[in-house]
Amino acid sequence: MSNEKQLAVKMVLDLWNSRLKATDELINGLTDEQLLKEVSPGRNRGIYLLGHLTAVNDAMLPLLGFEKSLHPQLAEPFLAKPDKTVAELPSVKELRANWKEINSKLSEHLNKLQVDEWFQKHTSVSAEDFAKEPHRNRLNVVAGRTVHLSSHLGQLVFLKN
């Protein structure tokens, strides 16, 4: 195990954890009514973005080889369909609980990985492709999801009064 690998893992995880904490703080600071509003006219609603981020983080559990998704029912309305096309969404209260549960479980798994395990392939890449593209590893998934989380965090900020 090299110091460079340790440093890379620490940098990515520190950034992931800081963005996740900022998102938690923002979501916890918004009312249910605020989350039902569009982030700007004609754009996604806060409830949709919360559900989307929750579903993405839930999908990380199997993608990183940890366990099955805890709430696979969130994939259809929040990953496969755009906002305002699904008649009934889970309540804000339910999504807040799912968000907390999934992130707790995800953090538990992330904190158990040893440095070299971060550089192993994720489950959606074949062994053959991974041999050619070793950057398609678990650490890269978390790095990419951190960018994704940050993007939607920037949208959710517009819900604050």
Using one digit for the tens of pLDDT, what is the confidence trace for 48-61? 999 999 999 999 99
Architecture of domain 3-159: Up-down Bundle (1.20)
List the domain boundaries for the chain.
3-159
Cα–Cα distance, 89 to 77 (Å, whole number): 7
pLDDT on residue 2: 80
Whether residue 10 contacts residue 111, with contact meaning beta carbons closer than 8 Å, is answered with no
Using one digit for the tens of pLDDT, what is the confidence trace for 25-74? 999 999 999 999 999 999 999 999 999 999 999 999 999 999 999 999 99
- pLDDT over threshold 70, residue 1: no
Cα–Cα distance, 20 to 23 (Å, whole number): 5
- Give strand pairing partners of 38: 45
